[in-house]
Each structure stands twice: as C-alpha cells, then as structure tokens.
Amino acid sequence: MPFEFHTLDIPGPLLIEPRRFPDERGWFMELYKQSDFRAAGIAERLVQDNVSFSTRGVLRGLHYQVAPAAQAKLVTVLSGEVYDVAVDIRPDSDSYGHWIGQILSAREGNALYIPAGFAHGFVVTSADALVCYKCSAEYNHACERGIIWNDPSVGIDWPISDPIVSDKDRLLPLLPARPPSAGRGHS
C-alpha cells in the first residue's frame, strides 16, 4: 500500500503519509487512491477539489458545512507549508470543542483526512502555500458555517500571533455550547 494512515488524538481525523517513488527526474506519488482509503476506513466519495493560494500569515477558517452538504476533506499542500487544524463539532462526541493541529507541507507530502463533523482551517507558515482539499460534498452556500479562529473556548495554539484574516472569517461566531443532552462535557 502506498499510504500510511496514522490516528490522531481525536477519533476521526487521520494523518496520511503517501509513499514517494524518487528517481533522477524527481519523484512520483499518489495523493489519493479510493481502494486504499476504503481499506483504511475512509469510505466517502470525494466529489469536489478546491485549491487555494495564500501568503505567509494568512489564516483561512474555521469552516464547515452542515447537512445535507456536510463535508469530509482530504487536505494536501502542493507548495509550501501550513499549520492545519480540525475542531470537533460533533454534538455527541466526547471530544466536542477539542482540536488537533498538524504541519502539512509539500516537502513531506503528507495529508490530513478530516471527516464531516469538524471545522477546518489553516495558517500559512511558509512564504506562500498552494493547498488542495478534496471534499465529499459540493460547496453549498446555504449550508456554509464557521467558527471564529481565535475562539477562547477552543483555544487553538496557532503558530502565528497576528494572522491575516478575511473580513468574512473575522465575523464568524464562537463555537456553540453543546446541547445539554449531547455527550459528556467539554474538558
């Protein structure tokens, strides 16, 4: 199998390390292979590819979509490096409001799989970055939601203290409190 799948501190997201095949011309690697991903428990059909280009310090997120267009994402950096974050927003999850962060880079070729039920964002830590994310549902404006990047209840430890954030992302709300009937408390 040309991929290694690694579990993280929150159940659901996976760090994926593809195998590279180097030769005198450079290298080749597979970014995604449905059969290998299914064997690792990732069954979603990926239906839309998005690409963003950003410069150092740009923070995009934290974004997600709700049903019926909730999205799983496979995030890969094609050029540069980012600190990629996923926040658990599944109401019944024991890790509701908790986050994981991973450095993704073109140099390493790693990727992050983020299932539906997570808000996603990243900040560029290199001079610039070209980021590709494959999604399991098409973009749907009516289902688009977000959480402000610096929500104190989430407490993400971003590696950049004063990021460049869009006006739209600057106005995102705080993470909603978990309904009392859902899961155990947020620690």
Q: How far apart are CA 94 and CA 13, in angstroms?
A: 14
pTM across the whole model: 0.92
| CATH number belonging to the domain at 3-170, selected among 1.10.530.10, 3.100.10.10, 2.60.120.10, 3.90.1150.10 | 2.60.120.10
Identify which has the larger pLDDT, 124 or 31: 124
State yes or no: pLDDT of 184 exceeds 60. Answer: no
State yes or no: pLDDT of 182 exceeds 70. Answer: no
Identify which has the larger pLDDT, 98 or 27: 98
The catalytic site residues sit at 63, 133
The predicted-structure confidence for 3-24, as pLDDT tens digits, reads as follows: 999 999 999 999 999 999 999 9
In terms of DSSP H, where are the helices of the chain? 34-39, 167-170
Residue 110: the pLDDT is 97
What are the extents of the domains in the chain?
3-170
Q: 38: helix, coil or strand? A: helix
| Nearest by Cα to 91 from 116, 68, 61, 69 | 116
Share of the chain above pLDDT 90, in %: 89
The predicted-structure confidence for 69-86, as pLDDT tens digits, reads as follows: 999 999 999 999 999 999
